[in-house]
Amino acid sequence: MNPVRALINTAIAIVVAAGVIVACAGLWFRDAVYGDRSLPVAPVTFVVPRGSTLGDVVAGLQSAGLVAHPIALRLLARLRGDEADIQSGQFRFPAHQTSDEILRRLISGTVDALWVTFPEGFTAREMGARLAAHQLIEAAAFDRYAARTGLYVDGTRTTTLEGFLFPSTYLVPVGADASRIAHILTDQFFQELPANAASKARALGLTVPQVITVASLIEREAQADDERALMAGVYYNRLRAGMPLEVDATIEYVFPEHHTVITRRDLEIDSPYNTYRHTGLPPTPIANPGKASIDAAFTPVHSEYLFYVYKGNGHHAFAKTLEEHNANVERYLH
């Protein structure tokens, strides 16, 4: 055979073979993403964690029995440029979905639950605003429920939920009412309480809700973790001595908006939360404390300190006497 003709025939054969391969791959891909409905065999609830990559999501889908062809799904997402558009949250998939339907649901479908983060020190009002920002519930509805609902903590009925809505990151069900959302947060609060919380509170001469009130003061005042238990000791020392706590954060709690600076005029506010005018603890917690502040309130550092003042860089100067405290104020605030 003519060498040139043989070369041409070989080239044609390669092209035909390549075409067949491409055609077969195309048919496989089409069937894998648009035709195969073998999975899931039953309805599946699937959670996409925040910050997940496409690879993370596809691996999770495969592990959950939602996709039979993970490679095809990844290819589909990349061909469409959908890699960065997958939503985080909780999804409920019915049985027998194509990969195309699953991907579309992950990108533009309605989630069953959304991730919501509540930072440590948020008040119930701030939590309501955060929920409203995610369009999960009206802020006023959650604030109202938290203000009017009590909770049994170690046999004591609280007057509100302030302080007992544990700050963390949650999957909040879409359509949930204030009661259901609050239960999610208070259930976590009980999980975070020390196992011997009741006995520790009694050893401090307080109830568990009162110790949580102390924890809320710590949460709003402390910045450095290594000062939380020391600050708790200051509060207990002042309570035992019958001294007013004089915590600026309790006065700020009275205001509907954040006040960066508490003025002398603010110190004259006639409110049970004004710990400059009233001795003892405020009527309720002033925020929802995190784990570090709760632990510090139950296990304070025993010292002779009665005062502290902010000295910058997230730390405070502690003092045993008013004279020492005034010197610290002069040094750090003037």
Provide the whole-model pTM: 0.88
pLDDT band of 6, cuts 50, 70, 90: low
Closest CA to 158 of 203, 219, 215, 208: 208
The whole-number pLDDT of residue 1 equals 60
CB 286 within 8 A of CB 253: yes
pLDDT one-digit tens code per residue, 45-93? 999 999 999 999 999 999 999 999 999 999 999 999 988 899 999 999 9
Tens digit of pLDDT for each residue in 226-242? 999 999 999 999 999 99
Length of the chain measured in residues: 334
CB 62: neighbour CB atoms within 10 A? 16
CATH class label, 3-111: alpha beta
- The mean pLDDT value for 279-308 works out to 98
Question: What is the model's pLDDT at position 262?
Answer: 85
Residue 298 CB coordination number (10 Å): 24
pLDDT digits (tens, 9 = 90+) for 301-318: 999 999 999 999 999 999
Give the pLDDT score at 258. 75
Task: Tell which residue, 101, 69, 108, has the closest CA to residue 86.
Answer: 108
Element (H, E) at 312: strand 307-312
Please, which residues have CB within 8 angstroms of residue 217's CB and are 6 or more apart in sequence?
Answer: 231, 235, 245, 247, 249, 250, 286
Q: Where are the domains of the chain?
A: 3-111, 115-192, 197-333
